[in-house]
A and B are shown apart, each in its own frame.
Chain A
Amino acid sequence: MRIPDEERALVRAAKSGDQDAFSGLVRLHQRRAYLVARAIVTVHEDAEDALQDGFVRAFQALDRFDPAQSFGAWLNKIVANAALDLTRRRKVRNTEELTDALRSPFRDPAESAELSERLTAALATLAERPRSVIVLHDVEGYTHVEIGEMLGIPGGTARSDLHHARLKLRELLKDLRG
């Protein structure tokens, strides 16, 4: 994998304690890292918390980062860990609200807000890991191996989770298809 010169320079400077350089790395990677966190925790506020925790952890572990690696992949793994820690701390989830959203009659498939709401509700009925896997794979385009590394599971498990998550999601959203 080719690492952009800009990123390499920022990593080098950040490793020597330059916070402005680290800020540059935040600017480069926060959007994708946010999506990784959001795929795992689903709630926006939790995704922001996990993202901030992840960047702080990454800053503190910079001396252990190998500059030959991709900073983004390393960061995503740390952010995913922070998100998983957060979900472990917040096991209580308001499933009632989500179930209501799923049951609500679907008015117009072209209405994107309605579609988003139905999708979000359907995703929320999946278990945490398959939901993270399907979003990271089918929406964000990460490979099974990359997802396995982020979530700390074998690539084969990610593949199996993906298969089951797709089946369930298709069943839940069958009235949207066609």
Chain B
Amino acid sequence: MADELKFPDSFERRGERDKDALDNRTARAIRSAYRPPVARGEGENAYWSTLERRIMARVASAGVPYNDQGWLSVLGGWAQVGLVAAAALFAVAGVVSDRFDEPDEQVAYESVVHTSPEVYSTPAQIILASDKSGQRDAALQYVLSY
């Protein structure tokens, strides 16, 4: 029988005892009071065997440790499949979107880079010039009218 099953006196096992500790009689009485109650006609070994079976039933029903499957294990089976499918769909959508967006961006970029500055500046100058000449004409007409 293994040491743990012999239920030795802890202080005998350690070979030491605190002088201020509870006396032996009290310590033994507490230990006795804290022993599991054993049913009439049932030996203590029978109690521990039954408890062991109950513990193992709980362990078996708890199943494989979550850690073996990683963080995905917190989701149910269908939720895991759904999550993987959604991730794949998102990745495909990203690639497709990139392909379609590329020509538009390229065209927009080229139209800005390759356009001659005169195309924009000339009309601006014309507009500015026409505005200034219009103001000048109006001022001249106002002065001449007096």
B81 surroundings in chain A (CB, below 8 A): none
A141 touches B11 (CB 8 A): yes
Complex alpha-carbon distance, A63 and B59, angstroms: 15
- Number of A interface residues in the complex (CB < 8 A): 52
Minimal beta-carbon separation of A36 from chain B (angstroms): 10
- A48-B51 contact in complex given A34-B36, A119-B29, C-beta closer than 8 Å: yes
Residues of chain B in range 41-97 having any CB-CB distance to chain A below 8 Å: 48, 51-52, 54-56, 58-60, 62, 64-68
Q: How many residues of B contact A (CB 8 A)?
A: 39
| Contact A6 B2, beta carbon cutoff 8 Å | yes
Q: Which residue of A28, A60, A138 contacts B66 across the interface (Cβ within 8 Å)?
A: A60
In angstroms, Cα B68 to Cα A112, docked, is: 50
Question: Which A positions have Cβ atoms within 8 angstroms of B?
Answer: 4, 6, 17, 19, 22-23, 26-32, 34-35, 38-39, 42, 44, 47-48, 51-52, 55-56, 59-64, 72, 112, 115-117, 119-120, 123, 134-135, 137-142, 163, 166, 169, 173, 176
Chain A residues near B68: list those with CB within 8 A: 63
Contacts of B64 in A (CB 8 A): 17
Interface residues of B in 1-44 (CB under 8 A from A): 2-5, 7, 9-11, 13-14, 18, 20-22, 26-27, 29-34, 36-37
21 cross-chain CB contacts under 8 A:
A30-B55, A31-B4, A38-B36, A42-B34, A44-B36, A52-B54, A52-B55, A56-B62, A60-B67, A112-B32, A116-B33, A119-B30, A123-B30, A139-B10, A139-B34, A140-B10, A141-B10, A141-B13, A142-B10, A163-B20, A169-B22
Bound complex: CA of A64 vs CA of B37, how far in Å? 34
Give the interface of B toward A (CB within 8 A): 2-5, 7, 9-11, 13-14, 18, 20-22, 26-27, 29-34, 36-37, 48, 51-52, 54-56, 58-60, 62, 64-68
Do B34 and A138 have beta carbons less than 8 Å apart? no
Q: Is the interface of B mostly helix, strand, loop or mixed?
A: helix
A22 touches B36 (CB 8 A): no
Please give me the residue from chain B that is nearest to A22 by CB atom.
Answer: B59
Contact present for A115 and B29 (CB under 8 Å):
yes
A134 — which chain B residues lie within 8 A by C-beta?
A: 22
Do the beta carbons of B34 and A135 come within 8 Å of each other? Answer: yes
